[in-house]
């Protein structure tokens, strides 16, 4: 199962060029599921994700958003597999998660495209509130599921930020703790940055706003729900940064993140999780006291 995370920057910049690159490169990568942020509505009854990826055979679920920031137009999910349900998770300070229930092979699970909505480094407190609510909402939504949810999005925070440390189980926030598997941290290949001055649309802003002509951050993620909360059914096989374009033109100001996941890739334990710890040890080392 191939998952793509992509913030597509609405219709900003040289959009005719970007639209062509987005469609071409996504067509070549052929992800099963795409999480999209900064997705514009219109014209008419359509939306940007439907325009771009509908012709490639994707079913698109779109949630429009209103706001002053041009990144607010909406979030979306594009799926090659049947979509059974959809839910919108409203997050504090304008963030949002769009969760759809998808059927892939013999498994059904929730797949969520999310954004915390506040991207400047000094707004981490707002992102902390958003990820706590996001974790609580997805955990409640997927409670009792046999297959863990998959979460992808633009979190505008690097792995050492409190919001990402919370999601990956490295610290608690507001009396809550959780543990999502960060696909790139587990199986990433190549440079990790998804917002970089090597992107022609980022360089002028990094220099003007951050006073950093050379700038690079990993702020886009694919997460898999913890095997300690759900059954250990999903294995992260690989992850890499994609949709990079060239020094002259790129599909978006964010590079994408592609993760290859395998459902039912666990050979031991019958998908029963922590309860198989002692049993697995006895099977592997029967002479152990």
pLDDT tens column, 25-83:
999 999 999 999 999 987 777 899 999 999 999 999 999 987 665 557 899 999 999 99
162 φ/ψ angles, rounded to the nearest 5 degrees:
-60, -35
Hunting for tokens 């459902």 — which residue is that?
263
Tens digit of pLDDT for each residue in 138-175?
999 999 999 999 999 999 999 999 999 999 999 999 99
CA distance linking residue 255 with residue 8, whole number of Å: 9
Could you give the CA distance from residue 65 to residue 114 in angstroms, rounded to a whole number?
12
Between CA 142 and CA 148 the distance in angstroms is 7
Between CA 25 and CA 34, with CA 30 as vertex, the angle to 5 degrees is 90
DSSP string computed for 47-88: BHHHHHHGGGT-EEEEEE---SSTTTTEEEEEESS-EEEEEE
The partner residues of 61 in beta bridges, in order of sequence, read 77
SS3 of residue 115 by DSSP: strand
pLDDT tens for 113-123 read: 999 988 788 99
Render pLDDT for 183-237 as a digit per residue (tens, 0 to 9).
999 999 999 999 999 999 999 999 999 999 999 999 999 999 999 999 999 999 9
| Widest Cα–Cα separation across the chain | 70
Q: Could you give the C-alpha distances from 158 to 53, 71, 98, 111, 155, in angstroms and in order?
A: 29, 19, 22, 22, 8
- Average pLDDT over the chain reads 94
pTM of the model: 0.95
The first and second tokens of residue 133, run together, are 């609510």
């Amino acid at each position: 199962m191939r998952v793509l995370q992509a913030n597509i920057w609405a219709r900003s910049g040289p959009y005719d060029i970007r639209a062509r690159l987005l469609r071409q490169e996504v067509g070549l990568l052929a992800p099963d599921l795409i999480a999209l942020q900064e997705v514009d509505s219109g014209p008419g009854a359509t939306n940007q994700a439907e325009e771009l990826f509908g012709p490639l055979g994707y079913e698109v679920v779109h949630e429009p958003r209103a706001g002053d920031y041009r990144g607010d137009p909406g979030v979306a999910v594009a799926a090659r597999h049947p979509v059974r349900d959809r839910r919108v998770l409203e997050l504090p300070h304008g963030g949002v998660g769009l969760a759809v229930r998808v059927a892939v092979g013999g498994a059904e699970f929730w797949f969520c495209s999310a954004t915390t909505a506040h991207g400047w480094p000094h707004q981490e407190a707002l992102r902390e509130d958003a990820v706590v609510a996001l974790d609580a909402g997805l955990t409640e939504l997927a409670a009792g599921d046999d297959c863990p949810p998959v979460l992808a999005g633009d979190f505008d925070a690097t792995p050492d930020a409190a919001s990402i440390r919370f999601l990956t189980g490295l610290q608690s926030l507001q009396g809550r703790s959780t543990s999502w598997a960060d696909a790139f941290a587990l199986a990433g290949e190549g440079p990790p940055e998804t917002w970089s001055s090597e992107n022609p649309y980022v360089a002028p802003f990094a220099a003007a706003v951050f006073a950093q002509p050379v700038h690079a951050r990993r702020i886009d993620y694919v997460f898999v729900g913890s095997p300690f909360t759900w059954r250990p059914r999903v294995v992260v096989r690989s992850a890499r940064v994609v949709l990079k374009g060239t020094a002259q033109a790129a599909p978006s100001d964010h590079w994408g993140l592609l993760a290859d996941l395998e459902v039912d890739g666990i050979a031991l334990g019958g998908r029963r999780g922590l309860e198989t710890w002692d049993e697995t040890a006895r099977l592997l080392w029967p002479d152990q006291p």
